[in-house]
Structure 1
Amino acid sequence: MFDIYLARLHELTVLVYAFSVLLYFFDFIHHNRKANRIAFWLLAFVWILQTVFLFLYMVKTGRFPVLTIMEGLYFYAWVLVTLSLAINRLLKMDFIVFFTNILGFIVMAIHTFAPLQYESHVMGEQLISELLLIHITMAILSYGAFSMSFVFSLLYLVQYDLLKRKKWGTRLVRIADLSRLEQFSYLHAVIGVPMLLLSLILGMQWAFIKVPDMPWYDMKVIGSFLLLTAYSIYLYLRIAKSMGGKSLALWNIASFLIVLINFFLFGKLSSFHFWYS
């Protein structure tokens, strides 16, 4: 029973860590100090849980936990979180903090959902199933964010056309102004990109465990990374190139077409994404 509760706490740690990474990403590209503070305290909570787990494991085994691969991974994740907290607090280097946490999340997820560390085969299989559930849930939530981003971009084009043709009326008034539509579209893309990235990280781990001979040229895999690339380019154009207006809205709409293709078509062509079939 204790092992079950411990596994649940590990899963909670991964979820809190994921939310912290999402907020760090938002701060990284949007320079939001409030998001940074919340992400820091969530990461501090993760560090406390990790430290407690390390202490309990040392008490149980009577040694420092670095003698096996699983122990080494967990200690490595703890070191990365510790360094991330120190860098965030002392050096204020957001770029380093975000990518350190991406690496730390990958290591933490590998450790948490690796079935080899659990004596019970049933518990190991249950955790793998829950890993798959988290992967799918995060992927669908990212699709939801991209869908909202698409809607705002589409409304932007409608409003842009009405203004260009000087079609004044209630329809024009009921649609928000162009700057707000563009901002809302951008913010939903900011939410969707890191969520899709974390989903892909968890999905790849599930595939390594359950489908070791998985073909990496699988259409669903290619489509997912193509989708991540398209929206990453959208953010790059918006932030680094200061692109906006109609051109950026069109890019966003084109990227959403990849969402539809990936969800409805590539899922059918995939050799192992059976839940979309």
Structure 2
Amino acid sequence: MVTQDWLTDAVLYIYALSLLFFVSDAASGNRSAKRVGTGLLVFVWILQGGFLMALLFDRFSVPQLTIKDYLFFVSWLLVSVSFILNRLMRAELLVLLVNVVGFAVLALNLIARPQHNVSLQPWEVARRLLIVHVGFITLAFAILTVTAVLGLMYLFLHTRLKKKKWTHVMHRMPSLEWIDQYAYRAGLIGVPLLLLSLSTGTAALLTEGTIADLLDGKVLLSFAAGIAYAVYLVRRLAGKDDGSKLAGWNLLGYSFLVIGFFVNSDSSFHQMV
């Protein structure tokens, strides 16, 4: 067993198997492989959903969230987003990449150190604000992950086209205009959720009177991500930059989020020890 829990092991193995079928479809256009992969992914989604229902029931009255719980929810959201993308856009390669990220999040979480906690302090008002904050930041992170994947796809395709190096994989990719458009649309959803999470988190700190925590490394990186994403949306709306520069702003904001998530040594805010 990879982990000490049969449910998480089952999810991990079935998820990996589904990705193999999706890779087969992306490489050779094998429709039957896609159907099998989709069926397995639905099963993964159901298992993850069952885990999350049990988690919500168990955590309902306990203001504590483990890293394992948080990343499991992020992975479940990415699977859900991939179903929506596959239904609305029929973008097989994008669905595959989103699920690769979701699998990486899940595998890193389960194989690494699942017992460590992110404690939500039991202040009456501040605690409720922090719960809302965690909900917003989780949704934002899932959606902005899709935005980042689209940004990476844009830079890859743009670079290959500029160098006139056409490959079979590029036949499976949407156009640069399509990628830019949907990255922007995803950003229009994810960035407001990120800003809402920052506002509720700030309100919780002010309510508790721990204003000094606003200078915490994780908080500052989250605000830096919000600024980078705001610049991305404004410049995209104003048409100030070309697509590659916009993708750079997009990935810069996501990088701040990821770095902030793993910063521990100097952080006292939602510290992971």
TM-score by length of 1: 0.50
- Structural RMSD (CA): 2.2
AA at the equivalent of 2:224: L
Is 1:214 aligned with 2:212? yes
Aligned partner of residue 269 in structure 1, secondary structure: coil
Counterpart pick for 1:161 among 135, 159, 162: 159
Name the residue aligned to 1:260: 258
Higher helix proportion (structure 1 or 2): 1
Q: 1:240 to 1:213 in 2, by over 3 A?
A: closer
Larger Cα-atom Rg = 1
Counterpart pick for 2:270 among 262, 268, 273: 273
Question: Alpha-carbon deviations, 1:237-257, whole Å to 9, x = none?
Answer: 111244232121122222221
Aligned partner of residue 216 in structure 1, secondary structure: helix
Which deviates more from structure 2 when the two are superposed, residues 240-249 or residues 144-153?
240-249
Question: Alpha-carbon deviations, 1:99-139, whole Å to 9, x = none?
Answer: xxxxxxxxxxxxxxxxxxxxxxxxx9555433211111111
Q: 1:272 to 1:259 in 2, by over 3 A?
A: closer
Distance 1:242 1:213 in 2: 36
Q: Unaligned 5+ residue runs, structure 1?
A: 1-123
Percentage of matched positions with identical amino acids: 33
Distance 1:251 1:208 in 2: 30
Aligned partner of residue 210 in structure 2, secondary structure: coil
Question: Alpha-carbon deviations, 1:183-212, whole Å to 9, x = none?
Answer: 111112111211111111111121123353
Distance 1:260 1:125 in 2: 27
Q: 1:209 to 1:178 in 2, by over 3 A?
A: same
Q: Unaligned 5+ residue runs, structure 2?
A: 1-121
AA at the equivalent of 2:270: H
Question: Alpha-carbon deviations, 1:11-62, whole Å to 9, x = none?
Answer: xxxxxxxxxxxxxxxxxxxxxxxxxxxxxxxxxxxxxxxxxxxxxxxxxxxx
Q: 1:247 to 1:213 in 2, by over 3 A?
A: closer
AA at the equivalent of 2:266: L
Q: CA deviation at 1:232?
A: 0.4
Distance 2:219 2:229 in 1: 16
Distance 2:201 2:175 in 1: 39
Count of matched residue positions in the alignment of Structure 1 and Structure 2: 152
TM-score by length of 2: 0.50
